[in-house]
Chains A and B, each alone.
Chain A
Amino acid sequence: MAEITHPTATVAPARTRAPNAYVAFTRRLFREKPLGAIGAVFCLIFLFAGIFADVLAPYGYNQIMPINRMKPPSWQFWFGTDNLGRDIFSRVLYGARLSVIIGLSAAGLGTVISLTIGIVSGYIGGKFDMLVQRFVDAWLSFPGIVVLIVVVAVVGPGMPQIIGILAVQGGIAGSRIIRSAVLSVREQSYVHAAQSIGGTPSRVMLRHILPNVMAPVIVLFTVGVGNVILAESALSFLGFGVPPPAPTWGGMLTGSARNYMYLAPWMALAPGVCLTLVVFSINMFGDALRDLLDPRMRNR
């Protein structure tokens, strides 16, 4: 039934019908991938929590209430309070904001890096491709977290540095996927046609190759956000993330908090649950997107 009513929406939607295509796509997401749709809803809640943390949080993220130290979860403090008497619910909300900012910007930047490396390397090919891929190989043979720690130790902790490093790390790793997509698009007849009518390499890359590798790019970006959030919290956990007063989810599980967790176990719960839930729903959503965008996977 679905494939009869919206044939244009599932194949290549025309520019003017774009809003319609989005609606149809959302409908397909909910009908065919309910888990992915739940993931998408959770992502939206998380995004909303991050954006409106100021309004939603009952207390400031660094508001210290010495009387209310290590209070268990209650109506006044939903997730309890920590060893300094800070409301954990508020800190989790502000932590969501940091994760949103770092996740979106680092994944966005990383996707641009992936696209640049992947398209140029895949399109030019030959010796250049060989050289770039060996560099990528060498980069990938070192554990991401170790490279991150060392670079943070050298350039010093701080938001911009962390976003930059996470973007480069994710970007180089993701360039592989883009490159393999470019390799198959490059051999299509419309690319040969564009080349034979005298399209310059940059024109072919931007106007013909780029739009046709968008499906993996969208998935790469979605999953990238989840990976970046995980990597950032691991960094914060090891003490190399955004410096302390800022409420990062990884940071809330580490440092002096660890000494108090035996007395106040709820301190260990909320940040971890949120982190898991967010990364899980992003990946579920990404997975559903991959299935919907990739025609070969459609009947699995």
Chain B
Amino acid sequence: MLRTASILALAIPAFWTGTLVMVFPSIWWGWSPSVKYITWAQDPLGHLAMMAIPALILGKGLSAVIMRLTRTLMLEVLRQDYIRTAKAKGLATGTIVLRHALRNALIPVVTLIGLQAPVIFGGAVILEQIFVIPGMGLLLLEAVTSRDYPTITGVFLVIGVAVVLINLFVDLSYGWLDPKVRSR
């Protein structure tokens, strides 16, 4: 069931969800997500609220992948001996799942999050176009249509550096998650 839901979430293209969110609320309730850009300096809350819907849509696809991997890993971990020990100690189910199982299942999940970093930037291009957010994605689209090669190169450089940095943080987080890695 969960598997089906995650495949469905993956199959619905972000640009279609974006289009539907733009079109249907305005027809049904006369409300539509604002396409007016609010800077952080003008209104910090409005700035975040504006980003919320595109962020949710982008997150939907990514969460599906993470959900599936976490499920597989949890199934694996919950069969381990130390989980049985924890149960035998009489710990609450919540504590076992969160502190004993999830923490051990988390390393591949965090790796996956690092691998998904490029996908975030790719999805941003599409969603920034729909919601008219003047971010790097829209900048790239404009640069491509006007054959502005220095800008394209610049955007690529920033994306590349960002992906490398995200993966660096992922690697560092291993130590925080797993004491075995820390000692090295």
Chain A interfacial positions (CB closer than 8 Å to B) = 35, 140-146, 149-150, 153, 226, 230, 233-234, 237-238, 240, 250, 253-254, 258, 261-262, 265, 268, 271-272, 275-277, 279-280, 283-284, 287, 300
A261 touches B19 (CB 8 A): yes
With the chains together, A250 CA to B129 CA distance in Å? 14
Distance between A253 CB and nearest chain B CB, rounded to angstroms: 6
Main DSSP-derived SS at the A contact region: helix
Which residues of B lie under 8 Å from residue A141 when comparing CB positions?
117-118, 160, 163-164, 167
Q: Across the interface, do B164 and A146 meet the contact criterion of CB distance under 8 Å?
A: no
Q: Are A238 and B126 in contact (CB under 8 A)?
A: yes
Given contacts A144-B122, A237-B126, A283-B11, could you give 14 more A-B pairs where the C-beta distance is less than 8 Å?
A142-B163, A145-B122, A146-B140, A150-B156, A226-B11, A230-B13, A253-B15, A262-B23, A268-B23, A272-B16, A272-B20, A276-B8, A276-B11, A279-B11
Q: Mark B1-24, 1 if CB is under 8 A from A, else 0.
A: 001100110111111100110111
- B98 interface residue, CB < 8 Å from A? no
A146 to chain B: which residues have CB within 8 Å? 121-122, 125, 140, 155-156, 159
Instruction: Find the residue from B12, B129, B145, B155 having the highest chain A CB count within 10 A.
Output: B12
Q: Are the C-beta atoms of A284 and B125 separated by less than 8 Å?
A: no
A265 touches B24 (CB 8 A): yes
Interface residues in B10-45 by Cβ distance below 8 A to A read 10-16, 19-20, 22-24, 26-27
State the interface size on chain B (CB cutoff 8 A): 43
Which listed residue, B4, B13, B23, touches A35 by the CB 8 Å rule? B4
A-contacting residues, B102-132, CB 8 Å: 115, 117-123, 125-126, 129
Return chain B residues, CB-CB under 8 Å to A272.
12-13, 16, 19-20
Q: Which residues of B contact A238 (CB under 8 A)?
A: 125-126, 129, 141
Q: Which residue of chain A has its CB nearest to the CB of B122?
A: A143
B7 and A284 contact, CB distance less than 8 A: yes
> Which residues of B are found within 8 Å of A233, using beta-carbon distances?
13, 15
Complexed CA–CA distance, A234 and B27 (Å): 25
Q: Given A35-B4, A153-B145, A226-B11, answer yes or no on A143-B19 (Cβ-Cβ < 8 Å).
A: no
- Assess whether B160 is in contact with A142, with CB atoms less than 8 Å apart: yes
By Cβ-Cβ distance, the 10 closest A-B pairs, closest first, are: A143-B122, A272-B16, A280-B11, A145-B122, A279-B11, A143-B118, A153-B144, A143-B121, A141-B163, A237-B15
| Chain A residue nearest in CB terms to B14 | A234
Q: Quick check: B15 and A234 within 8 Å, CB to CB?
A: yes
A262 with B159: CB separation less than 8 A: no
For the complex, give the distance between the alpha carbons of A277 and B119 in Å.
22
Residues of B within 8 A of A (CB): 3-4, 7-8, 10-16, 19-20, 22-24, 26-27, 75, 115, 117-123, 125-126, 129, 140-141, 144-145, 147, 152, 155-156, 159-160, 163-164, 167
Complex alpha-carbon distance, A284 and B10, angstroms: 11
CB distance from B124 to the nearest CB of A (A): 8
- CB neighbours of B16 from chain A (8 A): 253, 268, 271-272, 275-276
Asked if A287 and B140 sit within 8 Å, CB to CB, the answer is: no
A275–B10 Cα distance when bound, in Å, is 12
A149-B126 contact given A272-B16, A280-B11, A284-B7, CB 8 Å threshold? no
Residues of B within 8 A of A277 (CB): 11
Nearest B residue (CB) for A272: B16
In the assembled complex, the CB of B42 is this many whole angstroms from the nearest CB of chain A, namely 27
The answer on a CB contact under 8 Å between A149 and B20 is no
> B125 touching A145 by the CB < 8 A rule?
yes
Contacts of B164 in A (CB 8 A): 141
Q: How far is the CA of A238 from the CA of B11 in the complex (A)?
A: 18
